[in-house]
Structure 1
Amino acid sequence: MDCRACGKKGHIERACRNKKSSEKLSKTVKQKDTSQKKKYVYAVEQESTEVSDSSEEEVILKILTVAGGTQGYYVSPLLEGQPVRMEIDTGAAVSIVSESIYKKTLKHLTLKPGHIVLKTYTGESVAVRGITTVTVQLNGQTEKLPLYVVKGNYPSLLGRSWLEKINIDWPSVRTMKHGDTGLPALLEKHGEVFNGELGSMKNITVKLNIKPDSKPKLMKARPVPYVIRPKVEADLDALVNNKVLEPVTVSEWATPIVPVLKKDGGIRICGDFKGTLNPVLLVEQYPLPHIEDLFASLAGGQKFSKIDLCQAYLQMHVDEKSKKSY
């Protein structure tokens, strides 16, 4: 009997040793090809940032500019003895300044035509006014480095071509500096707002109107679980100290409380008025505006503010007659 795999006699294809060795060899070759492909996929081709002034061939280099984005890292090197604030940008192949900076600080330097095309990270072309060589001083280092002058309102960027020649003191660049923002004066002026105590609305009182001939209703207190009783008592004491509640010995109305656990582990004390006041209360109906109406009223606005009152309902005062009756 002849083997179908190798053609030799004396064994069958399933027991052929030559077939197993060839399959193993083929599998090894495939694995090598796969590993080579993976290495090729993850390989990074280094981009040359050196540009010859005499070359007439245009080279497209990406420069990264951030307008109103995240806060970057800045240094203030001396360009021809004058400080210029520049953003450190490792995404920029070259260093650039705007035409306004050139006219203000470097106008004595002659510009040569730069045979280079600059583009932002969004692909927009940046018009180049020219290239010059400046004396750069930073951290005790002095170098003669190429600088591109661009038209338009672009930030001054310190690119990779300068980073290869000048060492940056990165610890000092990343250090946060305290500046006078005026916030301490504002906090001192309105200190009562930030003292952590409960506020109080002025010139606003809540009046509860009940139906005529309604009889007062007094309900007994409900038992409070022992596990939260200390928290409930502490919260009631805090409400009394903040003058939200006023202790009384006799009242015609009494509503049981409902303690609600908050996410922070505290207690919110609510009143269950559905069996006492709500059935006889004359409720003032007020239509809530639609979201479209709110947006229409905000149209054309330029400045918006948001107010978040801490426990806003507890800051509202109840009318004296409503206090005594209910």
Structure 2
Amino acid sequence: MMKKLFNYIRDGCITTKVKKDSESKKYSAEILSVSTEQKFEWIKKEVLLNGQKVEFILDSGAQISCINEETWKKVGSPFLTKVNFNGKSYTGDEFRILGRFFCSIILNGLEEILLVYVTKEKMNLFGLPWIITFEKKFGYPIVTTLSDKDSDNSINSIQKEIIPTISENKELYIIQKDIQEEIQAELKEKFSQVFEDGLGHCSKTKAHLHLKPGAKPVFVRARPVPIGVKDSVEEEINRLLKMGAIRPIEFADWAAPILAVKKANGKIRVCIDYSTGLNDALELNKYPLPTPQEIWSEMHGNKIFSQLDLRDAYLQVELDSDSKKLANINTHKGLFEVQRLPFGVKSAPAIFQKLMDELISGLKGVFAYLDDLIIASENETEHKKNSYSIIRKNPEIWIKNSIGKMQFL
């Protein structure tokens, strides 16, 4: 999911605003600004799209990211949502856009669910929306990355920037191995309720989604679910029902459809497409997200590092009553009211970051980046103390962690 600072997963889907009806022609004129007359060599990068290797050309002038029809067939011909506009190249020639779909993109270990368009053109373009996602959301230097032919997709480059090169220091590596099992065992023993199965519930606050003045409800019909993934989608719906993250309803003013997206490991991720109306109607929460550089400067001088992922992180934060009426989902199984902060709502990252900052306020050596907690210490004794302090501070409100995802870096 997604990954945040370390293998950030994701909480929502990048959206591209498409002007409709009379405005669609005006918008289509600026979809692509590809020029083969440029004097420099194209910057290319191989990424994983739905688990398949695909080579893209970086183009910050492209207002969408797109693949050609051949690539679309290569990745399994996912179901396409029709669009009401065409593309236009730098020469002014229009070309047909066959449709769009959400896909899993992995770039240097960072995975995100993103919107991609399928065209009749030959190029696969890594456009501006994707560049913004990786640079601003992850703090990832996309231009440098795309030109680095020797980079390894299995290695998280953000981790390389944030964490010192521990693998080159055998002494530090041995210290981490010695304390890893001990800290994990003691945490699980002392705070068993935090690591038990099930969905956690943070009692400190409820998330509120702010509508723009004059916003009007948007109700979108359920989209068809391909037969091949139907069982997986229904399994996820039932999981969310069982844990109380959604509840069935019979009527709603607002509703967004769901999408089944194939992840790199072949499993199916259910994604809510709030780009269909709700995200445009919401005020953006402007709480600042920390950059990798800011976190690194705070951690400088430490020698032992570990990372703790939060399980179903956003879903552990309840929506307030007004917001629950906005985030409904429309599925082939009917309407459901979302009870918890959902992935895909554009303010979710800022809301969650603010909560995490409040929970770790005053704790030494503990840093938060969305649903990742990073613990940094100068020595073994201090690292144990810092690890315990995370949960000990507010055990009655602390959200659940996944002990299996504690990694020593």
TM-based fold match above 0.5:
no
Report the TM-score, using the length of structure 2 for normalisation: 0.33
| More strand as a share of residues | 2
Using the size of structure 1 for normalisation, the TM-score is 0.41
Q: From the CA coordinates, give the structure whose radius of gyration is larger.
A: 1
